[in-house]
A and B are shown apart, each in its own frame.
Chain A
Amino acid sequence: AQSVTQLGSHVSVSEGALVLLRCNYSSSVPPYLFWYVQYPNQGLQLLLKYTTGATLVKGINGFEAEFKKSETSFHLTKPSAHMSDAAEYFCAVTVFSGGYNKLIFGAGTRLAVHP
């Protein structure tokens, strides 16, 4: 069965520092992988996704993620954190179930950015 593990429920970085949010998945088929961001009391906004093709995926707000099949990972990075990046980040994998492509989410990582 597909599942997603996000290592670290809380990550704190300084403004300007590298952001690294970890995501590992398990899937019996080639996965579709996603990163979403959630600001307080809001829905989820798609940051980026991997379906097929290039394994390094660039998203919005300077984020990118690399699909590494051998490591079953899809870590999210950003070279330089900004205060506005403080939010909850969710990694997700698609599972085909009951005739639909459903999303399985990780537990989430709360990113704090301090001056």
Chain B
Amino acid sequence: GAVVSQHPSRVICKSGTSVKIECRSLDFQATTMFWYRQFPKQSLMLMATSNEGSKATYEQGVEKDKFLINHASLTLSTLTVTSAHPEDSSFYICSEGGTDTQYFGPGTRLTVL
């Protein structure tokens, strides 16, 4: 399957700062990538669908101005959590979704103090 990387793996930031998370498809040109959020001991919740060269589409209840997604190339999508607050602390996971199967990155643990 496709290989997906994420950077950073862990990040700790102060409340009010912005954090950028990168998701790279290493061996596949991914027109579509998905961003998920996973709270402790919970399942994955889809946040948005990232499309190369166009605007992302967000799931209901997800603030697009807070979670900025950019998919500038076929191998890179970024998620920026703007003005992060402690309630944004979570595990963020991306996946490559160009086929009938999604392959996931290793995730990024965000902790907002």
- Chain A: residues with CB nearer than 8 A to chain B? 32, 34, 36, 41-46, 49, 51, 90, 94, 98, 100-103, 105-108
Instruction: Label chain A's interface by main secondary structure.
Output: strand
Contact A107/B100 with A42-B106, A43-B105 known, Cβ cut-off 8 Å? no
Of the candidates A36, A41, A49, A108, the one whose C-beta lies within 8 Å of that of B104 is: A36
Instruction: Label chain B's interface by main secondary structure.
Output: strand
Chain B residue contacts of A36, Cβ below 8 A: 104
Chain A residue contacts of B95, Cβ below 8 A: 44, 103
Contact A108/B46 with A46-B103, A101-B97 known, Cβ cut-off 8 Å? no
What's the interface size class on B, roughly? Answer: 20 to 34
- Chain B: residues with CB nearer than 8 A to chain A? 1, 4, 6, 32, 34, 42-44, 46, 49, 57, 91, 93, 95, 97, 100-107, 109
**What are 22 contact pairs spanning A and B, CB under 8 A?**
A41-B91, A43-B4, A43-B6, A43-B104, A43-B107, A44-B44, A44-B104, A46-B1, A49-B100, A49-B101, A90-B44, A98-B49, A98-B57, A100-B97, A101-B97, A102-B34, A102-B46, A103-B46, A103-B95, A105-B43, A107-B42, A108-B43
> Complex Cα distance A51/B101, Å?
10
Q: Are A43 and B43 in contact (CB under 8 A)?
A: no
Chain A residue contacts of B6, Cβ below 8 A: 43
| B40 CB, min distance to chain A CBs, angstroms | 11
Q: Are A44 and B100 in contact (CB under 8 A)?
A: no
Q: Are A94 and B100 in contact (CB under 8 A)?
A: yes
